[in-house]
Chains A and B, each alone.
Chain A
Amino acid sequence: MNIFTLAFRNVRKSFRDYGIYFLTIMIGVALFYIFNSLESQSVMMDLTQDSRLALLGISQDMNMLSGFVAAILGFLIVYANAFLIRRRKKELGIYMLLGMKKGKISAVLLVETFLVGLVSLAIGILLGVFLSQGMALITAKLFSVSVSHFAFVFSADAARTSVLDFGVAFVVVVLFNVININRQKLLNLINAEKRTQQFHKIPMAVSILLFILSAIMLGVAYHIMLTNGFAGFFDESKRVMQLISVILGVVGTMLFFFSLSGFLLRLISKIKGVYFKGLNIFTLKQLSSKMHTAFLSQTFVCLMLFLSISGISVGNALSSALRDNPRETTASIGIAYMSFYIGMVFLLTCASVLAITQLSEASDNQARYKLLGKLGAPAKMLSKSLFTQILVYFLLPLVLAIAHSFVGIKVMCMLIDLLGDLNIFATSITAGGMLVLLYGGYFLVTYLNARKMIR
């Protein structure tokens, strides 16, 4: 069969699997475009010479930051792609079995990547163009200038940068796929689904001890942070303390997730009224058997979420402070935008990493759900078990990240020395709104996709 026909058919067939991939690239590209098009938006504003220069400076900062952002989004694309390939291993194995050359398989994947990339890139830029008009209004407000000649602005520069940077990411994906396909042995591909489950049991007492230890570490880390703030930036002697606090925070977070599975889940299994209800035995076992390996990604997601919530809150807090106090320096606008930009990108990263791991989980578990159905578990019961599992994975890192953020936001406000004026509560609600929209949206898409998989 023709490579193009095959690739086209594959994309259409696995459209559902490509869902998260599409969504992530789309939102990533849109964000990327918005923050790279700041300068072009200024044409519609009545800016003074000074403000124009200031905005130019900010947009240059943004462009620099975009290199970093592109790297993160590139990583996400490669990660999402790896998931897709893993999910399709059997299909690829069958191509090989039918005698298709590895080169041809790589070519099919290349065309697929190109197709998906092109569509999501186009839609992402389109979305970015629309959203950036709103962004222009906000910028104008921050500079407290009026928008005299509103025009629909398209930034060719920003679009070009987006296409270039994401193009590089796609090239990496293609290389990754070629290497991956060439390394595969036929047998591995066909048997990809047959993995045996390992059981490591950590004694309950050890789990409890580790859990208490993690709580203490986090408590100490919070305390040091709250008493010292970011003084370490200016005061040499306090720098060590600050470093200790950060390390304690990271290690404490890791231990928290590591011990939680053994601790909380086994505690619940002692409560017979809960344990022996519906599919709870299965659900709890699913969670605890994966937690030992999932704790690293949970830690990663929690810390990213923490940075993201702090970033968005501080970004919002600064911009609302600026609105009340127009004579503030333009540097603050820069910080506000950067925090917001980074915050959103991190949020996107967390959400899609979680979505991808949960979807691959659900896909690995298809046989188990099918068996439960045969044993007479109604579809509703299965969906409920799936919902609980995905919810726990999305919620656990979020809860700890919110606790971290309370401390983080407080400290950052001290740093920016605006504590008096900043209404942390109000801006945190804005951050919360963003979170619910993006993170909650990803949760929903993940659940709905996973549910379709197990039907």
Chain B
Amino acid sequence: MREILQVRDLEKIYGGRGSVTKALNGISFDVDKGEYVGVMGASGSGKTTLLNCISTIDNATSGSIHIENVDITTLRSGQLSDFRCRKLGFIFQDYNLLDTLTAFENIALALTIAKVSTRDVTRRVRVIAENLGIADILNKYPIQMSGGQRQRVASARAIVTNPALVLADEPTGALDSKSSQALLESFRAMVKELQSTILMVTHDPFSASYADRILFIRDGRLFTELIRGRDSRRVFFDKIMEVMTVLGGEAA
């Protein structure tokens, strides 16, 4: 099987009594193993809601989400947290590192939560840190790091458990262009060398141009998708800009 993620007819309805918001309106798509997929759409189009449903932080109203052939919409809360720490990795916009822990400890925590054998922890953290170029800041606290370094530590934390799927919500949102670029390069490296699968929400066409495929969402539905194929990043960037123009002025 090649598909890691299968989303089918997903609906999410917020609220009740009077004001009802259909944040997701029957969206369906697949993501293959080793794919780097971007999700774009106007603000309020349902990107974060989609990610929260896939990441089991939020419950879908109807439809199904299969991750490695397990329908996560049917899991109970105990199974969910187990599933979350074994199969999923998260990267948040605002890093979300624990400020009381060093980089090493932040990354190690993801392993110890997943009950990885204590003998392997140190080695695995070092390998990942080497890969993401943060080996020399492992003993620093988040407050002593730059934004880009923090986000790379957060990325290391997300992939150190070898998750089936890495979910990132605007990971470059709080970074300057240079740090963004470095982070996006390391995402590419994660996909290429570690066979990670990444689903990344972004409103920035530059960030999106690093992906293999872009899903465009409008009003909680799949509007269109764009596959990079053999295009260079420049060409792909231009195509993304075109779709964004079609999508409407504030396709941010």
Q: Which residues of A contact B (CB under 8 A)?
A: 196-197, 199, 272-273, 275-282, 285-286, 289, 368, 371-379, 381
Contacts and interface: CB of A to CB of B under 8 A. Distances in A.
5 contacts: A281-B101, A285-B105, A373-B81, A375-B113, A376-B85
Interface string B106-118: 0011111111001
Contact of B85 (A280, A289, A375): A375
Contacts, number: 81
Given A196-B143, A279-B112, A281-B108, 9 more contacts: A199-B141, A272-B121, A368-B100, A375-B84, A375-B85, A375-B90, A375-B113, A376-B82, A377-B81
Nearest to B99: A197
B118 A281 contact: no
Given A278-B113, A376-B84, A378-B81, A289 B57 contact: no
Contacts of A372: 98, 109, 113
A279 B57 CA distance: 20
Given A273-B118, A276-B118, A281-B108, A376 B113 contact: yes
B230 interface: no
Nearest to B121: A276
Contacts of A197: 99-100, 141, 143
A16 B120 CA distance: 43
A161 B40 CA distance: 70
Contacts of A278: 112-113, 115
B110 A286 contact: no
B112 A276 contact: yes
Interface in B59-87: 77-78, 81-86
B119 interface: yes
Which of B55, B100, B114, B119 has most chain A Cβ within 10 Å?
B100
B88 interface: yes
B243 to A, nearest CB: 31
A277 B112 contact: yes
A279 B113 contact: yes
Nearest to A269: B105
A282 B111 CA distance: 13
B169 to A, nearest CB: 11
A280 B109 CA distance: 9
Contacts of B122: 272
Nearest to A197: B99
B96 interface: yes
B118 A272 contact: yes
Contacts of A285: 98, 100-101, 105
Contact of A376 (B88, B99, B118): B88
B143 A374 contact: no
Pairs of residues from A and B, 4 with the lowest C-beta to C-beta distance, nearest first: A376-B85, A376-B84, A276-B118, A378-B81
Nearest to B104: A281
A100 B57 CA distance: 37
A71 to B, nearest CB: 37
A302 B48 CA distance: 50
A372 B110 CA distance: 9
Contacts of B101: 281-282, 285
A387 B26 CA distance: 43
Contacts of B84: 374-376
Contacts of A374: 55, 57, 84, 90, 96
